[in-house]
Chains A and B, each alone.
Chain A
Amino acid sequence: MPAGLYIHIPFCQKKCGYCNFYSVTSLALIREFITALYKEMELYRRTFDSVPFDTIYLGGGSPSVLSAKQIQEILNHVRNTFDFAADSEITIEINPGDIDLLYLQDLRGLGINRINIGVQSFNENILKFLVRRHSRQAALDAVAAAKRAGFDNIGIDLIYGIPGQAMTVWMETLNAVLSFMPEHLSCYQLTIEPDTPLGKKSAEGEFVLPDNDMQYDFFMKTSEILEAAGYVHYEVSNFAKDMDRASRHNQKYWDHTPYLGLGPAAHSFQDNQRWWNHQSLERYLENLKVGTPPVEDSETLTNEQLQLETLLLGLRTKKGINLERYKERFGRDLLKEKSNVIADLDKAGLIKIENGCLRPTPAGLAVADSLSLI
């Protein structure tokens, strides 16, 4: 399987209220960051040059704070350093607050063939609650602009399960997005991370998240509506118009395909090893200035850990776990070993065996964590 390349652009104009991705709001270091990024690529020319890549993912942070020129430069450098398949999937995440039509046309011109727009909501109040830096109108405009710029693989990110959000309010956002029929949709349930502005408000008791049953209703309703509209619910939070439009890059995370992550806080995986960079632009820059890998730590997965990850990641996907492959890889026949549990889970409507795969149903996806502990 070809590898994936992830580049973390650690800058944002302004921090969103719920965000625990690593990014800084001072844009002064962009130039220095790009130079460091080149050095980091150089470090991996050795170790990753035997693998061809077939995806590039510019994430963050907000890659859209970079100019089209800077992005072009980065892409050129990447292409000169590593091998890419001709039909590589090249994705960029953009924030509606950062862009205009011209910019998107430029990006399209650079060979970027997939665009992921961080819309989060089409509801003005919710955008305010989340402390997003764009309006409902800006979000609508961004989607329209992406189409006009010629993107035929558009992904939209949404968040639901906002405190106080009624199901009808979420339905309005879903309906709005369905009017565009984007190729890809990510619908995330809001998670409150402790070290964020919303996390602090939550700790102070300013709001409460919907309870477990409510969250389940949101989750199932979302799945039903989008599947009825023709989308495949292919991962817990991800929907694609058809499986060709599923994020090729993200799927690598879920089946232990090698990926290389560049930039602060980026994670990489190869040969049962996972390593990750410092979550600090400063340390990232310092390290690379003297030519050391900006790696904070690494782990080598034991066979048991690999098995657990295979289950926990596999059972988050509609495809599920290929039992024959699992047996080849780990020498264990799940179907035999867990026949009782699997039968019970099947009866409870959480799992099914299909085409030699152990597959979660939509209700199963909602309890994927527990399923992985069978």
Chain B
Amino acid sequence: MDNIRNFSIIAHIDHGKSTLADRLIQYTGVVTDRMFKDQILDNMDIERERGITIKSQAISLPYKAKNGKSYTLNLIDTPGHVDFSYEVSRSLASCEGVLLVIDAAQGVQAQTLANLYMAMEHDLTVIPVINKIDLPSADVDRVLEQMASELDIDPDEHLKCSAKEGIGIEEILEAICERIPPPKGDSDSPLAALIFDAHYDAFRGTIINCRVFDGKLKNGDIIRFMFNKATYKVEEVGHFRITREKRDAISAGEVGYIIAGLKTVSDVHIGDTITLDNRPCAKPLPGFKEVKPVVFASIYPIASDDYEDLATSLEKFKLNDASFVYEKDSSAALGQGFRCGFLGLLHLDIVQERLEREYDLSIILSVPSVCYRFTLKDKSIVDIDNPTHYPDPSSIDKSEEPYIRASMMLPERYLGAVMKLCMDKRGVNSNMHYLSPGRVELTYEMPLAEVIYDFYDRFKSVTQGYGSFDYDLIDYRESNLALMDILVNGIKVDALSQIVHRERARARALLACDRLKEEIPRQMFKIAIQGAIGGEIIARSTITPFRKDVIAKCYGGDITRKRKLLEKQKKGKKRMKMIGNVSIPQSAFLAVLKSDTD
């Protein structure tokens, strides 16, 4: 166990975690050149297409150090985007140390700080790594100053590398062996293994990723889940080498996987402790802090027949996304579905896409909402995250909405633009201090609803990518709220309803009507779109019908061609939701939240 090192690579988004992981993997030679591809740990299509890491990914690397000893390095690459910080925090629970990667050109950013705090909460050894030193705009000295003043890290501890060029890799491997302590724990104690991730495999059932803290686990053992006492016989254990690699056993200090014919998806809980049935440990491991979703939306199958399918898919999907929560829900316009909680809009977007790709589902998401709080005249308090459940306005005594504190780091030159944006977003109580000459930290208190409503994109655009942003929920504050409905050809589409600040209702309704006009394809009929509060129409737009679509000729040779074209259109139409006689595409439901700036 002395030769095992468990560590995560953490950083702000895009600072080069996955690329650094590539170099470490290649240096230790576990992947042949032929099999290698960039960001090899980003193995989901959606990660590769978007160029971001969504899931933490573990891999075991053999490394022979200069001191002559052989080590097993268990590396976990983590995502950088805030919406996936739960992935990071769970990875950290399996580690004794981290590589804190900082982009030499960008310097310390909001998630550098946030992730460092997380590592410190777990008491982990931090190795600061300044990456991208090959860039002409790299400014190592400046980063060193920031490390000292903003992160409170001794600059002498830093390493420099270019993950892209493969510079400084050996020094990093050596530092991992030297500085990060080996795992503690006892292979002879009763088994205690922490489940930190899982996924469902159609052939093998649920596959569990775990960190063994104490004891030893081998094939044929009977394991017990401490959460619900369910027992299973282990079929296979192993560790990760890009693909799963079977081993005879995994023991204290190691990270690996377990296959145990787990067909009942609900038996597996992320954060649960696995022990041996015939020799259980005394108490479960601490597990994970619960995450609180901040954005809510309903998911409906496009074809109502697919409801059951959706239900089982969600159960399996949740195994692989511990931050995703859901419960049953129904809509007058869209039928049976599920109300789901997400950590942010990117998370929501990724969940939708993964469900469609990995489970071959066609789904509609309702307009996302935050959770509002209403005190009714009878003094009862209700939390509402679904506009469909908006209380009868005459019964409401007080309306409140959640506020966050946003912390932003940005070059001073963008201060004006960012302050204007924050004020647009109803920000209050601003605070600013200089991190260094020319660089400021700005905080604002803002309604969460304004932040999910397209703040992130606009912030990035006004700071031209040089600003970073993090937030914490602080409290609920009184607000003047109203329920805005959308009617399509006179039919209320509840999945498009939004709870809005009354003063902004009109503007939001107009925007929603315009967005829908862009998103809903012209059809053979005129389509009227209206925004309403109560019975009052406050905004409208009209989609004029198209009047001609037919091609002049359709003889022998044209028929197949024409049919194929229509088959394609028909498929597209199946992916739209029929409301009355209007086909509404998926994209329309999310588009109503996008603003029209830029």
> Known: A250-B555, A299-B560. Contact between A369 and B581, CB under 8 A?
no
Complex CA distance for A269 and B563, rounded to whole angstroms: 15
Choose, from B272-280, B387-395, B567-575, the stretch at the interface: B567-575
Q: How far is the CB of A20 from chain B (nearest CB, A)?
A: 10
Complex CA distance for A190 and B551, rounded to whole angstroms: 9
Q: How far is the CB of A187 from chain B (nearest CB, A)?
A: 8
Asked if A240 is an interface residue, CB under 8 A from chain B, the answer is: no
Give chain B interface residues in 532-587, CB to chain A under 8 Å.
Answer: 545-557, 559-560, 562-563, 566-567, 569-570, 573, 581
Contact with B along A346-364 (1 / 0, CB 8 A): 0010100000000000010
Contact with B along A196-215 (1 / 0, CB 8 A): 00000000000000001101
Instruction: Please determine whether A341 and B556 come into contact, CB atoms closer than 8 angstroms.
Output: no
User: What A residues does B553 contact at CB under 8 A?
Assistant: 188, 191, 237
Instruction: Please determine whether A266 and B556 come into contact, CB atoms closer than 8 angstroms.
Output: yes
Give chain A interface residues in 291-329, CB to chain B under 8 Å.
Answer: 299, 305, 308-309, 312-313, 316
- Identify which of A216, A267, A369 gathers the most chain B CB atoms within 10 Å of its CB: A369
Asked if A370 is an interface residue, CB under 8 A from chain B, the answer is: yes
Q: How far is the CB of B489 from chain A (nearest CB, A)?
A: 10
User: What B residues does A248 contact at CB under 8 A?
Assistant: none
Instruction: Please determine whether A344 and B552 come into contact, CB atoms closer than 8 angstroms.
Output: no
Complex CA distance for A236 and B549, rounded to whole angstroms: 11
Complex CA distance for A59 and B566, rounded to whole angstroms: 27
Asked if A281 is an interface residue, CB under 8 A from chain B, the answer is: no
- Contact of A350 (CB < 8 Å), options: B524, B556, B559, B562: B524
Complex CA distance for A253 and B555, rounded to whole angstroms: 6
Instruction: Please determine whether A219 and B581 come into contact, CB atoms closer than 8 angstroms.
Output: no
> Known: A348-B525, A369-B566, A373-B573. Contact between A212 and B559, CB under 8 A?
no
What are 8 pairs between A and B in contact, CB < 8 Å?
A6-B556, A188-B553, A189-B552, A191-B551, A312-B562, A365-B550, A366-B547, A369-B569
Instruction: Please determine whether B554 and A212 come into contact, CB atoms closer than 8 angstroms.
Output: no
Complex CA distance for A213 and B581, rounded to whole angstroms: 23
- Contact of A253 (CB < 8 Å), options: B550, B556, B570: B556
> Known: A308-B563, A367-B549. Contact between A253 and B524, CB under 8 A?
no
The residue of chain A having its C-beta at the shortest distance from the C-beta of B581 within the complex is A344
> Known: A267-B556, A340-B581. Contact between A212 and B548, CB under 8 A?
yes
Complex CA distance for A76 and B563, rounded to whole angstroms: 36
Complex CA distance for A340 and B570, rounded to whole angstroms: 18
Q: How far is the CB of A176 from chain B (nearest CB, A)?
A: 20
Asked if A135 is an interface residue, CB under 8 A from chain B, the answer is: no
> Known: A6-B556, A316-B554, A373-B573. Contact between A212 and B546, CB under 8 A?
yes
Complex CA distance for A216 and B547, rounded to whole angstroms: 6
Contact with A along B148-173 (1 / 0, CB 8 A): 00000000000000000000000000
User: What A residues does B551 contact at CB under 8 A?
Assistant: 189, 191, 369
Asked if A274 is an interface residue, CB under 8 A from chain B, the answer is: yes
Asked if A368 is an interface residue, CB under 8 A from chain B, the answer is: yes
User: What B residues does A191 contact at CB under 8 A?
Assistant: 551-553
Instruction: Please determine whether A373 and B547 come into contact, CB atoms closer than 8 angstroms.
Output: no
- Contact of A373 (CB < 8 Å), options: B559, B560, B570: B570
The residue of chain A having its C-beta at the shortest distance from the C-beta of B555 within the complex is A253
Complex CA distance for A237 and B569, rounded to whole angstroms: 23
Q: How far is the CB of A58 from chain B (nearest CB, A)?
A: 14
Instruction: Please determine whether A259 and B524 come into contact, CB atoms closer than 8 angstroms.
Output: no
The residue of chain B having its C-beta at the shortest distance from the C-beta of A214 within the complex is B548
Complex CA distance for A216 and B545, rounded to whole angstroms: 12
> Known: A373-B570, A373-B573. Contact between A316 and B550, CB under 8 A?
yes
Complex CA distance for A191 and B554, rounded to whole angstroms: 12
Complex CA distance for A231 and B376, rounded to whole angstroms: 71
> Known: A265-B557, A370-B524. Contact between A312 and B548, CB under 8 A?
no
Instruction: Please determine whether B557 and A276 come into contact, CB atoms closer than 8 angstroms.
Output: yes
Contact with B along A261-279 (1 / 0, CB 8 A): 1000111110000101000
User: What A residues does B566 contact at CB under 8 A?
Assistant: 308, 312, 369, 372-373
User: What A residues does B581 contact at CB under 8 A?
Assistant: 340-341, 344
User: What A residues does B562 contact at CB under 8 A?
Assistant: 312, 369
Extra inter-chain contacts (17) besides given A254-B554, A373-B570, CB under 8 Å = A6-B556, A188-B552, A190-B552, A236-B552, A266-B556, A268-B556, A269-B556, A308-B566, A309-B559, A345-B524, A348-B525, A366-B548, A367-B548, A367-B549, A369-B551, A369-B569, A373-B569
User: What A residues does B554 contact at CB under 8 A?
Assistant: 236, 253-254, 312-313, 316
The residue of chain B having its C-beta at the shortest distance from the C-beta of A160 within the complex is B552
Instruction: Please determine whether B524 and A308 come into contact, CB atoms closer than 8 angstroms.
Output: no
Instruction: Please determine whether A216 and B524 come into contact, CB atoms closer than 8 angstroms.
Output: no
> Known: A253-B559, A274-B559. Contact between A370 and B547, CB under 8 A?
no
Instruction: Please determine whether B552 and A312 come into contact, CB atoms closer than 8 angstroms.
Output: no
